[in-house]
Structures are given as C-alpha cells and as structure tokens.
Amino acid sequence: MKLKRVSIKGLNNKVDCDFEFHDDINVVTGMNGCGKTTFLKMLWYVISGNIERIIPEINFESFKLETSHFSVYLRNKVNAIEWKYSNSLIDSQSESEIETSGSFDTNINSRTEIKNIEELNKLIVSNQTASLFFPTFRRIEGGYSMTNSRRVRKQIWLFWVHGDKRS
C-alpha cells in the first residue's frame, strides 16, 4: 500500500494541509508547534485502524486519505464523526468498488459506538499490504531567542526525497 494524498482541514483548529506523497521518501518539516507530530499521529491512527484514538487526542474539521488501496474520509461534526470508505481495488470476481459510510458518537461509551468504529477499522486493516515506517527526528539548532521578535505563520511542509535529488 502506498500513500497518495492526505488533506486535513482545521488540524488543531489552526492548520489546513493538503499533501501529495512521493513514491520514495517524504519528509515532514516545520517550526516547533506547527502540528508535525499531530499530523503524523493522525495519519498513523487512520492507516493502522485505530480511529478511536483520534477522538480524545486530535482536533480537526475533516480528514481525507487516499492510498493505492483505499480512501477514507472523516468529518468531525458536533458530538459525532461521519466517515466514508472506498476500496479502490477491484475484486477479481466482481468489478465494483466497495463503498460504505457511517458515523459514530465522539462519546464512545456504548457497544453500538464501539462496533461502528470497529467496522471502519476492520475495513482499513483488511486492505493493508505492508508495514509503514514513521520515524521521527528532532534536532535543536542554536540561534533561538526567548522573545518573539517577529510573527511567523505556522505551516507544515512536506518534502520529497528521491535518491540524491529533492523535488
């Protein structure tokens, strides 16, 4: 499975991002506090079939992930998450895509809500073909001051690395 594109609106109520992934290596970079770790956590929770972990940890308006095998869309509404799932692999016996949708309450206390989340998690996990690696690297460089001398817009950047070239 390859990641193709991710789009998140209102990540931590402040960041919108839309990234198209390169087939080789992708590097996420940005200033401290811009949402890099939150971005990676959300991506990991979705592709690992742990949607329930997003609810208490990450604020967002909408999330869309497209992979080589499936796409998933999450929309955060008041007290509920709406979801849509599409399997882009065509089954050898039937030529139709699998599309399904649902919702679950953000207050996950009932068996019904747990089953609704598990349905989506199982769909995602059933289409995984290989492990993904999400290493994090933190580096501290000199030249920082304790005073904020200028305002910098917080952004997350995604770079592609292919061999020795950056594109």
Tell me the percentage of the chain whose pLDDT exceeds 90. Answer: 20
Residue position matching structure tokens 């995984």: 128
Cβ(105)–Cβ(79) under 8 Å? yes
pLDDT for 166: 41
Which has more pLDDT, 117 or 93? 117
- The model's pLDDT over 17-47, given as tens digits with 9 standing for 90+, comes to 899 998 888 888 888 888 888 898 999 899 8
Which has more pLDDT, 129 or 116? 116
Which amino acid does the sequence have at 28? V
Name the pLDDT band for 164 (thresholds 50, 70, 90). very low
pLDDT for 96: 53
In terms of average pLDDT, the best of 58-62, 84-88, 137-141 is 58-62
pLDDT for 35: 85
Q: Where are the domains of the chain?
A: 3-140+150-166
Is residue 145 predicted with pLDDT exceeding 60? no
- pTM for the whole structure: 0.74
pLDDT for 144: 46
pLDDT for 99: 84
Is residue 14 predicted with pLDDT exceeding 50? yes
Which has more pLDDT, 95 or 48? 48
Cβ(22)–Cβ(154) under 8 Å? no
Exposure string of 138-160, with b = 16+ CB inside 10 Å and e = fewer, is: eeeeeeeeeeeeeeeeeebebeb
- The model's pLDDT over 77-93, given as tens digits with 9 standing for 90+, comes to 888 889 999 986 554 45
